[in-house]
Every structure is written in structure tokens, then in C-alpha cells.
Amino acid sequence: MAERDLPSLGLALSGGAARGIAHIGVLQAFKENGIIPDFLAGTSIGSLVAGLFAFGIPVADILNQAEALSWTKISSLNIPRTGFLSNRILGEIVESQLGKVNIEDSPIPLAIVTTDISNGERVVLREGSLSEAIKASSCIPGIFTPVSINGRLLVDGFLVENVPLSPLREMGAQITVGVNLGALRDYREPDGIIDIMMNAFEIAVDANTFKTMRQADLIISPKLAGISRMDSTRAQDMYDEGYQAALAALPELRRLRAKANPSLLTRLKKGFRTWLVGNRLRQPNS
């Protein structure tokens, strides 16, 4: 079945810090099998991967950028009253690849999820500076400095929607696929203060994530439980897990898309039967 005959596909990329490299493996598996999302949404590190891919950056180049990331590189020391660190380097990565671009100009429609730290509201960014949106969506509260956009102080979107499925429906996706990198109660002993904070945040948002994932037609969950969210040294392992998880999900994805939009032959048969019945009803009684 030609791609144009299939229902539109939305892909949601979750947060997960260094584990975000698994998203790149998912995208590579999709690309090799001729599957390009019609809509993308990202939260936290998922917003970085989604943003670069939506603007046409090759998967190999995204992988190179992700492999070079470490928390010491992401975090340039800056100690204001609202947070300990600035994650401006994430914005610099985006601008080094794309220049200063706006979300609404992406070839693939894109949504980036953030949280308004003043009132807890979900804020979905679909226009404005891409680099600023990614900085906001990746801003762990208490660690990074909130990002001010349109008069709102925005932080990491994983507080409100770690697997950002709802923006995909809002944009018009007919089939939604979520990639979840979270622990979902398979936690590991923390190694340092940032791991402790990340475990605390993840425990707090897991219940909400379970509810959110029910919106998806399909969830892809790479096997990452043994890999720390802070460990960028296992990039190849994370990439491979994402790649293999996506390959395993392809038969179900194809089934869902075929079920949602019958083949041209099936539609023609149905149309012919409808015409035949209608034609008989119009025939005069003999």
C-alpha cells in the first residue's frame, strides 16, 4: 500500500535524558522501512531529537550530536535564584545545526511540550524559536533555570506529559505511536544527587504517564532499565535497543494502519457493492 493511501502517523518522543539516544534508533528503523511520521511531538530530550528530525537533519548527524552530549556539556554553570544551571548549550546545538529557526517552519508539523512552573499548566509550543522551546522542554526544575517564553516561566514537559501523545491528535494524526523511555516502576539505585532527583521526578510522574499512554494506538518501549539516565557512555546500547524495539513494533504498526484505511481494492469492492444495491433499488418492478 502506498504511503499516501495510509492514515496519517504521529510519533511522540518522551523524555529520558541520556536515554534519548534510543529515539534515534527508533527513527532509523522507521526510515529503513519507509515510514516517515506525518506529525512529531517531543518532551525533554525527545523535543531535541524530534526538532532536529522534523527539520530534516539526517539520523546519523542527530546520533553524532547526541553521543557528544554529557551533563557537564549541557550545563553551563550559572547560579541564579530560580535554578542551579543553564542548559543554553542545548539551544546552541540546535542553532549550530539549523540556525535560528521557528517551530512553525518545520517540514514535519512539530509540537514541543513544556510545563508552566507558575501554575502547573501544560504548555504546547507549536510556534516561535525552536531552540528556546527545546531549552524549556528540557529544563529540569530545581536544576536548570526556567526559560521565559511569552511571559511564562517554562520547565521540563515531563511533569505534565512525558509521552506527548495529545498534541498529535490535536494536530490531526490518525494513528499515534509513543516511544517511552521512562522506568515505569523499574527503578535503579541512584548514583549521586541528580540521579536521586531524577528518580523522585520519575516516581511522581509515572502514574500520569500510564494514563497518558492509554491514548496511544501503539507504545514502543526500548529495554533500558539497566541504563542510567545520566550515562551517555552507553550510546550504542541505547541506540540498538531503540532500533530493535521499533523493528519489533513494525508488524503491529502496519496492521493498525491497514485496518484504519482499507486498501484501494477493498474500497473499490465496497463502492461497487453500494452502487449495485442502489442500482437494483432503482430498477422498476417487473
Which residues are catalytic, by number? 44, 156
Residue with cell 544527587: 193
- In terms of Cα–Cα distance, which of 203, 91, 75, 51 is closest to 145? 75
First to last CA, the chain: 44
Please tell me the distance from the alpha carbon of residue 242 to that of residue 21, in angstroms, as a whole number: 8
